[in-house]
Chains A and B, each alone.
Chain A
Amino acid sequence: MFSRMLESGLYDFFFVFIFFIISIALSLIMVTFNALIGPSFMGEKRTDTYESGMAPIKTAWMQFGASYYLFALIFLAFDVDVLYLFPVLLIYQRGAGFSELIELILFLFLISLAVVYAWRKGVFIWR
């Protein structure tokens, strides 16, 4: 089974598969081990939301301002920005010349244009 996978080019995805398995196993172990060895204290207010000692007056499931949503969008723009920096590491292995740096800066500049556009549109001013 292993050799057939080699020729069919799935070899690279084998590592992704292992990575996936390890991450699931790790989280499962942590949760079950914790439940097994730790004592549990279940008072009746244990599952209430913590609001500095008082009972929360209203449920938080309600309408809230659109500005929160826009802030989340801006964060997303920067997050994608950082995500793309991971493959950049591979390029640096080959030849850390000056041209790679220029490419990187150009790439970052293009991505951050989205944030500048949002800034001009006044997303950051809370209304």
Chain B
Amino acid sequence: MKTPIQFLLNGEEVATFVESGANLLDTLREAVGDLSVKGGCWQGTCGTCTVLVDGSPRLSCLTLAESCAGRAIETTAGLRRGPDLHPLQSAFMERFAAQCGYCTPGMLMAAKALLDKNPNPTRENVVDAISGNVCRCTGYEPIINAVLDAAGGNSRRA
């Protein structure tokens, strides 16, 4: 039984149909085609699928798609402004803060949620911001440093 749903995705109006009861992760990837959102567990325990809903970080795998009607959703695909990278993206690059890259979209969204509300966070703030995001490759240190660099508006190498 399909249900129509309409929401703002990275600033663009999007309308599609979903199986009722569908989660936002599957809706974004399979119905809308935003493949920048990745799924790691569908249990709400790894943070890989983190997106922003009305500016707040949400686990898209545990978010009922229908509950997002009319809301503004942000994903990694929307981070760039045209050719220019978001400061978080360039900081992640400079800090080599990704290896397999599968957790990176979720990390970027969790970090953006933090910086949008707290432009100069402490290291402890950053550690809390990504505490729901599992990374199996990097050991977290480069990711924390990248977010702190991006916050300082100077994604220079420390």
Are A and B co-members of a single complex?
A: no
Query: B interface vs A, CB < 8 Å?
Result: none
Q: Which residues of A are interface residues toward B (Cβ below 8 A)?
A: none
